[in-house]
Amino acid sequence: MSMLLPISRREFFKLAGAAAVGTLIGDRLKPSKARAASGATIRYADRDVPVLFDADVCVCGGGPAGAAAAINAARNGASTVLIEKGIALGGLATLGCVYPMMPAKVNGSVTPYIFEVCEKLLEHAIDFDDRSGKGAEGAICFNPEVLSEIYDELCASAGVDVLYNATLVDAIVDGDRITTALVQTIAGLAAVRSKIFIDATGDAYLARAAGVPARRGSAKTGRNQHMSFRFEMGGIDFNKLYRYIVIKLKDDFCKNRPPYFEFAKTKKTAAIFESGVTRGELEQDDIVYIQAITMVGKSGTVSMNMPQLPSEYSATDAIGYSRAVSHGRAMMRRLANFLIKNMPGFKRAYIAREAALMGARESWRIEGKYMLTEEDYYEQSRFPDAVARTAYPIDIHDVELDLRRKLPEGGFYEVPYRSLVTDRISNLIVAGRCISADFAAQASVRIQPTCMSMGEAAGIASAYALKNNIAVNEVQWDRVPNRSYASEPK
Ligand SMILES: Cc1cc2nc3c(=O)[nH]c(=O)nc-3n(C[C@H](O)[C@H](O)[C@H](O)COP(=O)(O)OP(=O)(O)OC[C@H]3O[C@@H](n4cnc5c(N)ncnc54)[C@H](O)[C@@H]3O)c2cc1C
């Protein structure tokens, strides 16, 4: 494996001895149920690699799906490790500056864990309600820094071992089971052994490393959904902005007043941005998608749902992804400078934060036991093993493919557990935006609350499988007594 970091003998013993040291640092840390025996190692790529954890459940990726999976697995009695390459949980919601959590647009979609996160936001003085009158059924506003704090607290109280700054690089597979996840840590390559694995990387990284077939992009164009490099701007005078957009331009895109306000490129506002292109302050690509949303708990701050990268920058191509970063940053700077110069209310504005994770809407999706399809969306399919329901539209950021046909009021479809598991690997659950769904269906299930519900189910199902000695890809979700969502037939 070429990704190995050179590691000195001394460092190796330090890392391998982490369990022994645990008694020392254990004074300050909650006792771990998953810590590996002192000095345990495995052989990998002709070297001894220290084993950090021997867990019941190992979750890879700490985004909306992964955090939910780990918290729910641990609460249900499984010793659980959560591997995250960043240093905050929340995935695109925190590291990617993606805001707010869009609503699934149907009653009954808010599973208990989502509700709990909303309550926690309130406890932290973050009024999550977007004033649509729908409470947790509407968009859920949050503050990214508070959200990652909440996830830390929930993980700590559930007893999850979070391994930050740890990138999953490979999986060891024995027959139809993953035995070990290989992670790159600050101290070098390390191993996490586990009975069950949950892939919540968003990119199906673990599943692909274990040989699960995966698809990417649109079958029609071969392209992935566009990526965006999101950011936040602070120092904005919302009164001036509101007066200009709503009173002067008579734009009715947003029905709320500040502090719950947003603007976008609409028929009424398009000329502002187009004039920027004419004057050479902006490029045409910069203004393809413009949207800015005020944030709760961050006064004078908007979340920018832009810039949207041109389609040649692909979320599944290492070099394209990397080039998207510098190209996107240049777009971001042009947009920020343009707004500061031209948009009322932005005179004293500045870039407050740029995403630490590229905004990939879609990359790889596994081929699971059941492939959720565009037909399931339109036919409002119900499944006995459903783990979530949603009516969120098929939201494809591509003019050639955009479907956006909404379901009738009250209509919804369900996401089956079988889309989270595969025939290939018996101890793997995949949760979040990389489940088994076709390109169009993924464009609907990908919103954060639906990913949270999938993670919640994955956590509960894995603990249930352990207790009942069943392979996770054989779990019949409709038999799980404490399931977070039960199907509602048509
Ligand atoms: C530009 C954009 C705008 C969006 N707008 C909205 C919106 O307004 N509202 C909404 O609800 N949804 C929105 N979404 C969708 C939503 O944010 C994502 O689909 C959702 O966050 C997916 O959750 P996830 O847990 O599956 O994956 P992610 O959020 O992608 O999280 C995956 C996590 O896994 C970690 N990870 C990945 N690989 C590894 C590895 N090898 N080792 C260790 N860790 C790893 C990542 O660091 C990350 O923390 C938007 C998405 C984008 C890109």
> How does pLDDT run across 369-378, given as a tens digit for each residue?
999 999 999 9
Q: Give residue-wise pLDDT tens across range 257-288.
A: 998 999 999 999 999 999 999 999 999 999 99
Q: What is the pLDDT of residue 404?
A: 67
Ligand 1, atom 41, residue with closest C-alpha: 168
In a domain? residue 64: yes
In a domain? residue 103: no
Residues 204 and 64 in one domain: yes
Which numbered atom of ligand 1 lies nearest the CA of 361? Answer: 53
Give the end of a domain, one of 329, 360, 391. Answer: 360
Please, how many CA atoms are within 13 Å of residue 288, restricted to the half-sphere of its CB?
17
Q: What is the pLDDT of residue 416?
A: 98
d(CA 174, CA 415): 29
Yes or no: say if 56 and 136 are a contact pair by the CB < 8 Å rule.
Answer: no
Q: How confident is the model at residue 17 (pLDDT cuts 50, 70, 90)?
A: very low
Yes or no: say if 65 and 451 are a contact pair by the CB < 8 Å rule.
Answer: yes
Q: What is the mean pLDDT of residues 422-441?
A: 98
Residues 50 and 176 in one domain: yes
* Beta bridge pairs of residue 191: 51, 182
Q: What is the pLDDT of residue 68?
A: 99
Residues 354 and 376 in one domain: no
In a domain? residue 127: no
Residues 321 and 378 in one domain: no
Q: Give residue-wise pLDDT tens across range 130-156.
A: 888 888 899 999 999 999 999 999 999
Helix/strand/coil for 393: coil
Query: What distances in angstroms separate CA 460 from CA 180, 195, 387, 449, 477, one per listed residue?
Result: 21, 15, 11, 17, 10
Which residues lie below 8 Å from residue 318, measured CB to CB, with a gap of 6+?
none
Gap from CA of 91 to ligand 1 centroid (Å) = 5
Gap from CA of 460 to ligand 1 centroid (Å) = 21
Yes or no: say if 147 and 448 are a contact pair by the CB < 8 Å rule.
Answer: no
Nearest alpha-carbon partner for 332 in 264, 259, 282, 296:
282
Q: Indicate which CATH number applies to the domain containing 455.
A: 3.50.50.60
Of the candidate ranges 8-12, 163-167, 331-335, 395-399, the one whose mean pLDDT is the lowest? 8-12
Q: Give residue-wise pLDDT tens across range 321-357.
A: 999 999 999 999 999 999 999 999 999 999 999 999 9
Q: What is the pLDDT of residue 468?
A: 98
Residues 14 and 57 in one domain: yes
Which numbered atom of ligand 1 lies nearest the CA of 89? Answer: 49
d(CA 383, CA 434): 19
**Burial letters for 257-269: b for 16+ Cβ neighbours within 10 Å, e otherwise?**
ebbbbbbbbeebb
Gap from CA of 276 to ligand 1 centroid (Å) = 31
Is the pLDDT at 8 greater than 70, yes or no? Answer: no
Gap from CA of 61 to ligand 1 centroid (Å) = 9
Q: What is the mean pLDDT of residues 202-222?
A: 97
Question: Domain of 428?
Answer: 1-91+143-216+364-490
Which numbered atom of ligand 1 lies nearest the CA of 449? Answer: 11
More confident residue, 479 or 17: 479
Pocket test for ligand 1, best of 3, 95, 185, 201 (most atoms within 8 A of CB): 201
Pocket test for ligand 1, best of 59, 89, 92, 295 (most atoms within 8 A of CB): 92
Residues 386 and 349 in one domain: no
In a domain? residue 136: no
Q: How many CB atoms lie within 10 A of CB 73?
A: 34
Is the pLDDT at 27 greater than 50, yes or no? Answer: no
Give me the torsion for CA of 462, 42, 366, 477, rounded to 10°: -10
Sign of CA dihedral 199, 31, 85, 3: negative
Gap from CA of 204 to ligand 1 centroid (Å) = 12
Query: Ligand 1: residues within 6 Å at CB?
Result: 60-66, 83-86, 91-93, 95, 98, 101-102, 167-168, 200-203, 205, 228, 230, 305, 357, 359-361, 432-433, 446-448, 451
Give the end of a domain, one of 325, 340, 360. Answer: 360
Residues 159 and 30 in one domain: yes
Domain count along the chain: 2
Residues 164 and 195 in one domain: yes
Q: How confident is the model at residue 49 (pLDDT cuts 50, 70, 90)?
A: very high
pTM for this predicted structure: 0.94
In a domain? residue 351: yes
Gap from CA of 202 to ligand 1 centroid (Å) = 6
Instruction: Write out the E strands in 237-317.
Output: 262-264, 291-294, 302-304
Is the pLDDT at 172 greater than 90, yes or no? Answer: yes
Q: How many CB atoms lie within 10 A of CB 378?
A: 15
Is the pLDDT at 78 greater than 70, yes or no? Answer: yes
Query: What distances in angstroms separate CA 146 from CA 90, 233, 275, one per listed residue?
Result: 10, 18, 38
Q: What is the pLDDT of residue 132?
A: 84
State the chain's mean pLDDT as an integer. Answer: 93
Gap from CA of 446 to ligand 1 centroid (Å) = 8
Q: What is the pLDDT of residue 397?
A: 87
In a domain? residue 325: yes
Q: How many CB atoms lie within 10 A of CB 270?
A: 13
In a domain? residue 376: yes
Residues 349 and 301 in one domain: yes
Q: What is the pLDDT of residue 29?
A: 61
In a domain? residue 487: yes
Is the pLDDT at 233 greater than 70, yes or no? Answer: yes
Residues 177 and 231 in one domain: no
Q: What is the pLDDT of residue 130?
A: 87
Q: Give residue-wise pLDDT tens across range 87-132.
A: 999 999 999 999 999 999 999 999 999 999 999 999 999 999 988 8
Radius of gyration of the chain (CA): 23
Q: What is the DSSP letter of 243?
A: I
Q: How confident is the model at residue 224 (pLDDT cuts 50, 70, 90)?
A: very high
Helix/strand/coil for 249: coil
Give the end of a domain, one of 360, 385, 418. Answer: 360
Gap from CA of 361 to ligand 1 centroid (Å) = 8
Q: What is the mean pLDDT of residues 20-37?
A: 62
Is the pLDDT at 14 greater than 50, yes or no? Answer: no
Query: What distances in angstroms separate CA 332 from CA 281, 326, 399, 472, one per listed residue?
Result: 12, 10, 21, 43
Residues 30 and 169 in one domain: yes
Ligand 1, atom 37, residue with closest C-alpha: 201
Which numbered atom of ligand 1 lies nearest the CA of 166? Answer: 43
d(CA 417, CA 385): 6
d(CA 315, CA 437): 17
Residues 25 and 77 in one domain: yes
Which numbered atom of ligand 1 lies nearest the CA of 228? Answer: 1
